[in-house]
Amino acid sequence: MQTMVNKVKDHLQNCIIPFWKGLRDDEYGGYYGYLDYNLKLDKSAEKGCILNSRILWFFSNVYLLFKDESLLHEADHAYTYMTEKCLDKENGGIFWSTTYDGKVKDSTKHTYNQAFAIYALSSYYEASGDPDALEKAKELFYLIESKCKDEKGYLEASDRYFHKIGNDKLSENGVMADRTMNTLLHVLEAYTGLYRVWKDDKVKNALKEILNIFTDKVYNRSLHRQEVFFDDDYKSLIDLHSYGHDIETSWLVDRAVETVDDPDIEWRDKIHGITGDLSQNILNTAFDGHSLPNECENGKVDEKRIWWVQAETVVGFLNAYLGSGRSDVKYLNAARNCLDFIFGNLVDKREGSEWYWAVDKNGTPINDLPIVEPWKCPYHNGRMCIEIIRRLA
């Protein structure tokens, strides 16, 4: 385990952090939004507000880990861009994207995007102590609860004035979803981060409500998995098993339950039973001993090994191992093997690069996918390193 810690610490400090520092845009603010497979930087590409939020989260957390002031300066830079360019000062909420020079490009207000801003602002507040960051996180919490939610749960996409629109941004595989597991998961993640720094009962109650939706609507007990895309009444729209989301959910839900710290032991045990079922099913039915395919739709497996799926696999299996009281070593071995696959195949050894987006099941890079774009960021792989260091060091 110490070898794992040393390896990821070196990788974090000497690859991931310098790479993302190098994408800082000092002319227009924020960070450049696109680097293609051939490492050609497009300085005129749109800047995803999700990308900016995740970069803010990343630099805030590596600062908290290493206390290197240069990392806080990067977080300051991302925070300035978020508050000056991504935040709608008139109507509230975070836009979907800006142009390279900071003008609104896509004014969609997606609940997923609001959640990531809360996640980032909560960490930035913890890192910087800036009370304005916490106030902005609170404002977005109240916004989600008042404008991005109904009596059944959390909504998806809205226009800039919070009128409901089609959810094309988080719908895939030929369906248009009214509700998604993905948005619910990341609202949970955001509120978990917020509750760590703001112990307000409204956040705690919202977390418990989300956890109950997860157990009652999203988790499919008979298939030992989560459903992914739903109609308005949580009827699943497609036979899809998202391996990466299941293993990611297993540890994010465990963390939310620990953060809520509710005295109801029966309630906690019920949820831990579900997360244990998710991680065990992934290990038994999807993990090949070294890496995790993307997903399975209608019985057909997508064999791509995607960067974020592998990163979350390491954390999810490590979480299962630690949750067993360090007794169930098959999870530790799986985490270690997946980490070896990452360093052997997904880490791009070319100078000026970071991780490939994806490789095939044999480890060959898929060369039509970029190294950076609005979804490809230091959130998953950076967090994998951070979690290993925090849990095992």
Beta strands across the sheet bearing 295-297: 240-242, 295-297, 300-302
The predicted structure's pLDDT at residue 272 = 97
Q: Output the domain CATH number for residue 304.
A: 1.50.10.10
- Residue 267: predicted pLDDT: 94
Q: Quick one: pLDDT at residue 328?
A: 97
Q: Which segments of the chain have a pLDDT < 70? A: none
Residues facing residue 104 across a β-bridge: 98
Contact between 371 and 353 (Cβ < 8 Å)? yes
Q: Tens of pLDDT along 250-271?
A: 999 999 999 999 999 999 999 9
Split into its structural domains, the chain has a count of 1
C-alpha 77 chain-centroid distance: 21
Query: What distance in Å separates the CA atoms of residue 352 and residue 342, rounded to the nearest whole number?
Result: 18
Determine contact, residues 247/295, Cβ cutoff 8 Å: no
Query: Can you tell me the distance from the alpha carbon of 168 to that of 19, in angstroms, rounded to the nearest whole number?
Result: 31
User: pLDDT at position 11, please?
Assistant: 98
Other beta carbons within 10 Å of 50: 25
Residue entry with tokens 């941004």: 169
Give alpha helix (H) positions in 222-290. 243-260, 265-285
Q: What predicted TM-score, i.e. pTM, was given to this entire model?
A: 0.98
* Residue 230 near residue 180, CB atoms below 8 Å: yes
Q: Spell out the residues 6+ positions from residue 275 whose beta carbon is closer than 8 angstroms to its own.
A: 249, 250, 251, 253, 254
Q: pLDDT value at position 47?
A: 98
Rounded to 5°, the CA angle 348-354-355 comes to 60
Q: With beta carbons less than 8 A apart as the criterion, state whether 371 and 348 touch.
A: yes
Give the integer Cα–Cα distance in Å for 52 and 95: 11
Domain housing 267: 2-392
> Of the candidates 12, 123, 135, which has an alpha carbon nearest to the alpha carbon of residue 78?
123
Question: How far is the first Cα of the chain from the last one, in angstroms, to the nearest whole number?
Answer: 8
Nearby residues of 335 by Cβ (< 8 Å), 6 or more positions away: 4, 313, 314, 315, 317, 318, 321
